Amino acid sequence: MKLTSLMLNINGEDRTVIVRPADTLLEILREKLGLTGSKPGCLNGDCGACTVMVNQRTMKSCLMLGVEGEGTEITTIEGLKGTPIQQAFVENFAFQCGYCTPGFIMNSQALIQAHPNADDEKIKEWLESNICRCTGYEEIEKAIMSVIKNPGT
């Protein structure tokens, strides 16, 4: 197996890892860096459980190769501390088993950063790429609406 060395900037820290060129970012985060907050729900881009931010934009880490991450800024759920969206998820009971939660929070956070006043349509466009099997989505919707100050302005 051919291996290559890679420098990734993750949650503000430079990390060197030895990987296969074919390893996805998700595999590297979990297996090489112990950042297991990003979840392997399908490895096929269908569920969003693996969502992280790359250069502040939302990305499914199962769909991106680790080598593509060089020179970017990667943020995982472990890099979010005390954000309003995390608090909103807790207060609104926006999770049950919690397996989809990191992905939803990362996606929501990226959305809030890019569109602080997103309207319903915009929120849907962003969040419909994640699956939650436990909740009826109502609580997730409440959580996100609670941090979007002036929707649609």
Q: Is 64 helix (H, G, I), strand (E, B) or coil?
A: coil
Cα 28 to Cα 85, 130, 132, 140: the distances in Å are 26, 21, 24, 28
66 binds, among ligand FES, other proteins, none (CB under 5 to 8 A by kind): none
What x-and-dash track marks residues 106-145 binding ligand FES by CB under 6 A? --------------------------xxxx----------
Distance CA 26, CA 63 (A): 8
Distance CA 85, CA 32 (A): 28
Residue closer to other proteins (CB basis): 69 or 103: 103
By CB under 6 A, name the one of 28, 35, 75, 95 that touches ligand FES.
95
Q: Rounded to the nearest whole angstrom, what is the least distance from the CB of residue 57 to other proteins in the complex?
A: 19
Question: In degrees rounded to 5, what are phi and psi of residue 76?
Answer: -110, 175
57 binds, among other proteins, ligand FES, none (CB under 5 to 8 A by kind): none
Query: Using the rule CB under 6 A, is 65 a contact of ligand FES?
Result: no
Distance CA 33, CA 110 (A): 22
- Residues in contact with ligand FES by CB under 6 A are 40-43, 45-50, 60, 62, 95-101, 132-135
